[in-house]
Amino acid sequence: MNRTASAIILLAVAGLGIGLTWLAQQQALPLVEEQRAAIENRRLLDVLPPGQYESRPLLLEAAQQPDSLLLGGTLMLQGGQPTAVVLQSRTQGYGGPLELMIGIGMNGRLLGIKTLSHSETPGLGAKIADQGSPWLQHFLGKSRADTPDADWNLKKDGGQFDQIAGATITSRAATHAIHDALRYFDEHQAQLTGKTAHE
């Protein structure tokens, strides 16, 4: 066999390998997307009461808030009716970016909060990411209707919320980001859900 024939066979085998790899990727793409969506939906359910939900991504306007940036939002429906809005927020903690997922019911009350990522100090600010963080739990059920805007601060800043011991900056950043999310929901509820304020 001469060099030309060997080169042609090698190119054919390489082309066949590339083609089969591409075909396998194309066939796996729907499954990969389905798994990605399932993982995302599980994350969303972490900040909502148990139940069956449909999710619809939201386009957020004016996502930059006074103390945080809203990275995205999802409208959660049950039986085709809006039940909650889940907002993903990023703020600056002590050690770096702090990302929270915040679930808000149609009545404007906090349903759940979960830390998605952080760079906080282990044993101090990192407590914000503990499973079922007791500190985050004390926000549940709160709304701007029962907690005036001026009270959305730490007690040491004249507000009503305790801080995580030894983590004032982290606590302050999270409190302000949660308040920003509630304010955004209240001010944009009609666009987010198709319903007027706390229908």
Based on the fold, state whether residues 39 and 78 are members of the same structural domain.
no
Amino acid 132: pLDDT: 76
198 in a structural domain: no
User: Residue 17 sits in which domain range?
Assistant: 1-45
Strand (E) positions, the chain?
Answer: 54-58, 69-78, 81-92, 97-105, 110-117
Determine contact, residues 55/47, Cβ cutoff 8 Å. no
Based on the fold, state whether residues 70 and 136 are members of the same structural domain.
yes
Based on the fold, state whether residues 81 and 125 are members of the same structural domain.
yes
Determine contact, residues 114/100, Cβ cutoff 8 Å. yes
Q: Would the pTM of this model clear 0.95, i.e. be above it?
A: no
25 in a structural domain: yes
178 in a structural domain: yes
Residue 77: closest CA among 196, 185, 194: 194
pLDDT tens digit sequence for 37-50? 555 666 788 888 88
Based on the fold, state whether residues 124 and 172 are members of the same structural domain.
yes
199 in a structural domain: no
Based on the fold, state whether residues 84 and 8 are members of the same structural domain.
no
Based on the fold, state whether residues 184 and 114 are members of the same structural domain.
yes
DSSP 130: S
Based on the fold, state whether residues 25 and 73 are members of the same structural domain.
no
Of 18-27, 64-73, 88-97, the one with minimum mean pLDDT is 18-27
Quote the number of domains for the chain.
2
